[in-house]
Amino acid sequence: WSVQGSAVLSVTFMLLAMDAGLGRRGLWRQVAWVALSALSFSRGVVTGPVVALSYLLGPKPGGGYGARSRTQVVAALLLPSVAVAALITLLATGNHQHLKGHWGNAAIFGIWYLCANPSHTLFSVESFGWHTVVLLGLLKMALVVWSLARSTGRLRVLFLMLVAFELGNAALLGIGR
């Protein structure tokens, strides 16, 4: 249960960081949520880049910050994730230490995960062959494109952040397998 609890805690911190950022309620609060997300679960390192993305893609790019300030804000949001990722890379044992010659396998697993989730379970699909995964991936891609076309403003920024989170999560899962 602790593994699932850590993931839920990390995602909760990410959502709090997103909420603080979309409401522009204080950079340091956002940085704290990002740090807590990264520290509570290894895939929480995705939170910093995802939240920083909102300052680059928002309705007012940078949330009203000038170019220099925006760079500082993005750097502050990335710092906790980069620090935790560096510690994991240097200190933890796991598949990330043995990727030489296995990047293709990692990419295939990540793409498979990205295409199949959550549709495979949601629709109770019996098959798990590549045809099924391609079909589910196309369905997911169509929904993403449709949602981006239909959304505007802060809703689009939120959706882009969630898509970026899903892509980062798939990449880390591929590396971890």
Q: What is the mean pLDDT of residues 2-27?
A: 79
Tens digits of residue pLDDT in 20-41: 876 666 788 899 999 999 999 8
> Which of 166, 168, 169, 156 is closest to 54 using CA atoms?
156
pLDDT over threshold 60, residue 1:
no
Tens digits of residue pLDDT in 39-60: 998 888 999 999 998 888 765 5
pTM, full prediction: 0.78
